[in-house]
Structure 1
Amino acid sequence: MAQNELPMNLRDDNVSEETKTLISSLPREQDSQGKLCKFQGCWYYYNTLQAVINFQTNFKPQDTDIILASFPKSGTTWLKALSVAILERYKQPTDDHPIHPLLSDNPHGIVPFFEIDMYLKTSTPDLTKFSTSSPRLFSTHMPLHTVKEGLKDSPCKVVYLCRNVKDALISRWYFRCKYQKSEVARSNLESMFESFCSGVSFYGLFWDHALSYWRGSLENPKHVLFLKYEELKTEPCVQVKKLAEFLGCPFTKEEEESGLVIKILELCSIRNLSGLDVNKTGKTWMNVDYNSYFRKGEVGDWKNLLTPEMENKIDMIIEKLKGSDFKF
């Protein structure tokens, strides 16, 4: 594949000379997609590292900002949709925005990523479109310690959604095959599995990533909320109300009695979102089809695809989480 046909985060362009010098001093590896380097304990493609540095250097946080964080393929689209729906319930339609945002754009179009969207394209993205929005919503897959450097001690809130690593792996495999338009082959899963277990893959070790936010939520629960994908599935109303309260806009008794929580869950369901025209035909700025973000959204689908040996290997690695009081 030609260099200019690669997604921007996989290319080597837009990397400054200063960052190239930094990269030369970092641990480097390569996966099936491209060259990786390890920065602040996390693995990034070169352009994504440049975006991380751009974010840390240039982002000017507001105290009311909300950052939605996750490890890749851990329910990010759902978290974005729920957060938008919760916050937008106060707003009335206007001439400029006559319909609900989720009916006219994909959650990833509404809530951009710092490092694989905004700061990947430029070191100084135009944030004026967010200037009339309070709170502003952004997202990231960076670990918490890296995010904090860009937040510059701002008291803004961070929500982290964690998903069982085995389901996240399977979802990541299908997503990569779909956006690369490659065969959903067993060999691709096995290769990704090995990289996943070694930690030498985009964003690195899942358990380190999850623990950064888990510990952050214990140390500062007013500013870091840790949610579990599986609990969102089993007790959605409870978790959505918890999310709304954390975001500073709890549901009133009247709203609950009117069924608003259920309506938000229905609006943000994978069945509803995947059926919207915008998500059937739209694309991200990196030319990834919006429909790539919707598959099954199930818990435990990994049982149909991982071998017992793969399951055991992951279980042994996740032993590292013991002693942290964190469990799936």
Structure 2
Amino acid sequence: MAAFTNVYGENTEEKTTLPLQKEKSWAQPYPLYLFQDFWCPGIHIDAVQRFQQHFQSKESDVIVASFPKSGTIWMKALAFAISNHQRFSSLEGHPLLTSNPHELVPFMEFTFGPDDIQDHILRLANMAEPRIFGTHTPFPSLPKSIKDSNIKVIYICRDPFDNFVSAWAYFNKIKPVSFPPVSKEEAFEMYCNGVVDYGPWWSHMLGYWNESVAKPNKVMFMKYEDLKEDTSFHVKRIAEFLGVPFTEEEESSGMIENIIKLCSFEKMKDLEVNKSGVIGRGSIEKKNFFRKGDNGDWVNHFSPPMTEKLSKIVDEKLSGSGLSFKKHS
């Protein structure tokens, strides 16, 4: 057993069994380790372990789960606005106008620091309900207190073609400037092999997909493309799933449309709170979370051989699951 040194050079209290299988990460220079059957960023392993060991769920909790760069920040904003639509019935002074969605819906993996765990447990226990958290952790690696409870989990995924382009662009933005960009060709091979943060992407999707099929009242599985196509319909679905449906009066007053506008890519990208400043343990610039938000941008980046290769992988990995995406050619 050996202590794991995190990005800050700290020897954390948690112990990680090493060596683990190790691969290069898009987010250089920090490598990925094959941890609990998924590729976990080395700087996150201790945080994931603390989260697994100490997180205690409440029945009113809401979890926004996603594979990285699949519409996470949009779904976090929608989940927060929908869950609190009675509390913040007026958009004036709404927290989303002055706080980044990642601040309002923190990642569960980082709710426990390496210092006094009891302090973190007490702070979480005293949070206002409903507590809303985000996670990139695959379903099998979630804490037992989440998997065995009836709390609501909303999972958002994205077409692998657009997910690849979004992730490649994002990780090249946040990497240290002293490291060269990861070429599209190299990144694509890694993506096809599933060697990306919290990958393989297919097993990540299938873990939540299978649970949504088995327990539809617990896990809502949503595609970014469907949400984009008919946002109003899915906002109402989310509200019903979370047990806070909109009343006829609220619908007629335009509350759904107001929430959609408040959480829209264009609105969030234009807010000053999302234009400047940094967030998270990696001090990521907030503006890097907002790129295009479009469907179909992959056509500007894929060659015919790339399209053919990824199409075959999607078909092979998702075969027989009932989960599918639009065919590409």
Q: Aligning the two structures, in what range does the TM-score lie when normalised by the shorter sequence? A: 0.7 to 0.9
Q: Secondary structure at the match of 2:244?
A: coil
Q: Is there any run of 5+ residues in structure 2 with no aligned partner, and where?
A: none
Give the match for residue 78 of structure 1.
74
Give the match for residue 119 of structure 1.
112
Give the match for residue 321 of structure 1.
318
Give the match for residue 135 of structure 2.
140
Q: Secondary structure at the match of 1:18?
A: strand
Contact residue 130 and residue 136 of structure 1 kept, 8 A = no
CA 79–9 in structure 1, closer or farther in 2 if over 3 Å, else same: farther
CA 275–288 in structure 1, closer or farther in 2 if over 3 Å, else same: same
Q: Secondary structure at the match of 2:195?
A: coil
Contact residue 50 and residue 120 of structure 1 kept, 8 A = no
Distance across 1 between alignment mates of 2:301 and 2:169: 11
Alignment map for 1:92-111 (pairs within 5 Å): 92=88, 99-111=93-105
Please say if 1:31 is aligned against 2:25: yes
Distance across 1 between alignment mates of 2:175 and 2:58: 36
Please say if 1:300 is aligned against 2:293: no
Contact residue 51 and residue 123 of structure 1 kept, 8 A = no
Distance across 2 between alignment mates of 1:190 and 1:31: 14
Residue 118 (structure 1) shift: 2.3
Contact residue 66 and residue 138 of structure 1 kept, 8 A = yes
CA 197–92 in structure 1, closer or farther in 2 if over 3 Å, else same: closer
Distance across 1 between alignment mates of 2:79 and 2:262: 12
Give the match for residue 3 of structure 1.
none
Distance across 1 between alignment mates of 2:193 and 2:115: 31
What is the identity, as a one-letter code, of the residue corresponding to 2:257? I
Distance across 2 between alignment mates of 1:201 and 1:277: 31
Offset from partner CA, 1:41-91 (integer Å, 9 cap, x none) = 101122311111101101111111111000000000000010111122211
Offset from partner CA, 1:100-157 (integer Å, 9 cap, x none) = 1101100001111122x32366573366377242110001011111114352622211
Contact residue 25 and residue 32 of structure 2 kept, 8 A = yes
Distance across 2 between alignment mates of 1:133 and 1:154: 19
Give the match for residue 162 of structure 2.
167
Greater per-residue helix proportion? 1
Give the match for residue 48 of structure 2.
52
Give the match for residue 245 of structure 1.
240
Could you tell which deviates more after superposition, 45-54 or 161-170?
A: 45-54
Q: How many pairs does the alignment contain?
A: 314
Distance across 1 between alignment mates of 2:7 and 2:186: 18
Residue 231 (structure 1) shift: 0.5
Q: Secondary structure at the match of 1:158?
A: strand
Match of 2:190 among 192, 195, 199: 195
Q: Is there any run of 5+ residues in structure 1 with no aligned partner, and where?
A: 1-7
Distance across 2 between alignment mates of 1:234 and 1:156: 27
Q: Secondary structure at the match of 1:62?
A: coil
What is the identity, as a one-letter code, of the residue corresponding to 1:149? K
Distance across 1 between alignment mates of 2:35 and 2:268: 35
Match of 1:255 among 250, 258, 261: 250
